[in-house]
């Protein structure tokens, strides 16, 4: 008999929030402002991070999908007149106020998980500040037990550090936790941490890409309670 799942850890962008609906508009606006309206330069910078500025779409392998702000800034930093720390701060400030499109209504979703006795957390490669701002705006922050970003001191996915920090904070074995995410970074981090892994399709990765690394691939997190009920009996 498999172990009971006692906690669920979520990625943020592409998992709790629909990726394209949220970040395509942010990327277009951010690049336009960064380039002072120079659309040719904005398109050039967009290409550097896997974003089509004209079509407002991301390439499936864009580093924006699972990378940290530091990684993204390092790709465009050589082409803008801003020190890297200032560029990262600007990205974080604008990301914090980017409108988020919830994959499913998050407040009832997390209330349901609470009613099932599950601990919950969010581990993102975004900054912790913007992540908390997004979760607060959605009303979900008070319903979570743990939130960590790439800058919270635990490392970044696909390394297992932030996932293991969650398990330790909850007083649980990693095997009691399932990690839910839309990218290979999420699923690889789960495997490295000794957790179960569930992929969702509200990011840019297709099911065929996620399936080899996942215990299940679901259309979105709305189906997760049913999957958990089947595992926990």
- 151-190 b/e with 16+ CB inside 10 Å = b? bbebbbbbebbbbbbbbeebebebbbbbbbbbbbbbbbbb
The domain total for the chain is 2
pLDDT value at residue 185: 95
Q: What pLDDT, on a 0 to 100 scale, did the predictor assign at position 53? A: 96
In a domain, 174, yes or no: yes
Pairwise CA distance, residues 105 & 117, whole Å: 19
CA distance 121 to 110: 10
pLDDT (0 to 100) of residue 95: 83
Could you tell me the residue range of the domain that residue 62 belongs to? Answer: 20-96
Q: What is the CATH number of the domain that holds 206?
A: 3.40.50.1000
Task: List Cβ neighbours of 83 (8 Å cut-off, separation of 6 or more).
Answer: none
Note the pLDDT tens digit of each residue in 54-110.
999 998 889 888 888 899 999 999 999 999 999 999 998 888 888 889 999 999 999
Q: Which of 173, 179, 163 is nearest to 218 (CA)?
A: 179
Do 85 and 36 share a domain, yes or no? yes
- Dihedral (Cα; 188, 197, 66, 91), 10-degree rounding: -130
pLDDT score of 1 more than 60? no
Average pLDDT, the chain: 94
Tell me if 39 is assigned to some domain. yes
Q: Would 2 be classed as within a structural domain?
A: no
- Do both 32 and 136 map to the same domain? no
């Amino acid at each position: 008999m498999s172990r009971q799942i006692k906690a669920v850890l979520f990625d943020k962008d592409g998992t709790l929030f629909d990726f394209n609906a949220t970040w395509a508009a942010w990327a277009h606006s951010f690049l336009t402002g960064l380039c002072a309206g120079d659309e040719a330069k904005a398109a050039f910078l967009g290409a550097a991070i896997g974003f089509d500025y004209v079509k407002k779409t991301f390439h499936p392998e864009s580093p924006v999908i699972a990378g940290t702000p530091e990684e993204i800034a390092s790709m465009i930093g050589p082409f803008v007149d801003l020190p890297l720390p200032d560029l990262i701060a600007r990205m974080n400030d604008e990301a914090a106020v980017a409108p988020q499109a919830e994959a499913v209504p998050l407040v009832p979703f997390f209330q349901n998980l609470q009613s099932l006795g599950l601990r919950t957390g969010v581990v993102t490669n975004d900054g912790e500040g913007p992540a908390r701002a997004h979760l607060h705006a959605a009303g979900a922050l008070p319903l979570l037990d743990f939130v960590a970003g790439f800058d919270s001191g635990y490392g970044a996915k696909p390394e297992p550090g932030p996932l293991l920090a969650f398990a330790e904070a909850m007083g649980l074995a990693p095997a009691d936790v399932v990690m839910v995410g839309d990218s290979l970074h999420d699923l690889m981090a789960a495997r490295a941490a000794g957790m179960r892994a569930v992929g969702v399709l509200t990011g840019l990765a297709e099911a065929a890409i996620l399936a080899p690394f996942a215990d299940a691939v679901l259309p979105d997190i709305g189906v997760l309670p049913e999957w958990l009920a089947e595992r926990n009996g």
